[in-house]
Amino acid sequence: MRHRSLYVAAAVALGFVAGAALAQRSMGKWRTALFSARPLRRLAALGYLSGHPGVEAVRVLRDYLAWEEHPALRRRAEAIVRRMEAQLS
């Protein structure tokens, strides 16, 4: 019984690590897709940029805000810009 619990715990930990690695790979893959035709790719690119604040990121996001038509993605980008500007000030 004890070995079974150990195997289950190891499987859960392995699943968590594999899921995190897959998510990071996906985010990295779409980090340059901010102006993609696909909304999910744009969302992934926003997620990547939100973790990499900087003056250049704010500039790119301002261009993106002028271009983006999807309301939810615009709100997300606006929130990221506000947060970055507050951090950089």
Q: Stretch 62-66: mean pLDDT, rounded?
A: 94
Read off the tokens for 42.
Answer: 């744009």
CB neighbours of residue 46 within 10 Å: 21
Instruction: Provide the pLDDT for residue 13.
Output: 81
The whole-angstrom separation of Cα 19 and Cα 1 is 27
Tell me the pLDDT band of 2, cut-offs 50, 70 and 90. Answer: confident
| pTM to 2 decimal places | 0.66
CB neighbours of 79 closer than 8 A, spacing ≥ 6? none
